[in-house]
Amino acid sequence: MQPKLMLLIARRGAGLSQRALAERVGVPQSTVSRIERGRIDPRASTLNQLLLACNLELGLQRRSVDEHGIDRTLIRSQLQRKPRDRLESAAAWADGAELLRSAQRTV
């Protein structure tokens, strides 16, 4: 996911204005705006600070992708979960996808 969308979704999900987020992190509001508009790509440390202020964290996860680009470890881990948990997770992803679509329409 692009940093601009990560930040926009995180900030809106935390209920923060650009100014409030900037003040929490100690950066100018214009920096938050420029990142969200895709005018600049932030350093990983800057993006992580902004996400932490939204109660999220930037992380890396090792993936095992086969020759077709399919992550079989993710499939296996999902199949180990209870069906109800998988459905709740799917509903949460759907909510997130709708938030992403609405964020893209306003950018």
CATH of the domain at 8: 1.10.260.40
* Spatial distance between the Cα atoms of 107 and 81, rounded to a whole number of angstroms: 36
pLDDT attached to residue 107: 60
Both 83 and 94 in one domain: the answer is: yes
Domains held by the chain: number: 2
Both 79 and 102 in one domain: the answer is: yes
Calculate the CA dihedral of residues 7, 11, 14, 19 and round it to 10 degrees.
140
Binned average pLDDT, 10 residues per bin, the chain of 107 residues: 91 94 96 96 95 91 77 84 89 83 72
Both 56 and 66 in one domain: the answer is: no
Both 25 and 36 in one domain: the answer is: yes
pLDDT attached to residue 48: 95
* Spatial distance between the Cα atoms of 43 and 87, rounded to a whole number of angstroms: 35
pLDDT attached to residue 106: 66
Both 101 and 90 in one domain: the answer is: yes
Both 46 and 71 in one domain: the answer is: no
Domain span including residue 79: 62-107
